[in-house]
Amino acid sequence: MKRTVIVTTMLAALMLSGCKTRTVLYGEPFESWHCENGLELHKPADRGFGYGIVRLDGTEFSVTYVRQGLEHVWHWEDFQVHLGPSGFARYYNFTGIPEGERKKPTHVFDCSL
């Protein structure tokens, strides 16, 4: 019975983290997700907030990272990327959207590769 609990706990931890790796960028440790279509998400290692990096098709954005419950969130200007326990990252463009208005994601990326 204990083995089942351990395996289930390990599986839940893997699902929550997706396929993240440890990376060193600019001399700092990051946890990173490499998603489909060239999306890379980088958060400060071992912290729930701070400076993050989003890369897409060779373009790099310096962003603010924060952990909100089970979601990892990267945001800059009018844009956000949310990575949930499912391993899917949802990209939002809030340009021209009134504050408080709900919006569906513009793109969804699989980060569980």
pLDDT at 17 over 70: no
Q: By residue range, what is the domain housing residue 79? A: 2-110
Answer whether 79's CB lies under 8 Å from 91's CB. yes
Q: What is the band of 34 on the pLDDT scale with cuts at 50, 70, 90? A: very high
Count of the separate structural domains present in the chain: 1
Q: Mean pLDDT score of the chain, rounded to an integer?
A: 85
Instruction: Record the tokens describing residue 24, joined without a space.
Output: 């060193």
Query: pLDDT per residue over 72-112, tens digit each?
Result: 999 999 999 999 999 999 999 999 998 888 899 999 999 98
Measure the CA–CA gap between 53 and 62, rounded to whole angstroms.
5
pLDDT at 46 over 80: yes
Instruction: Record the tokens describing residue 63, joined without a space.
Output: 């962003």
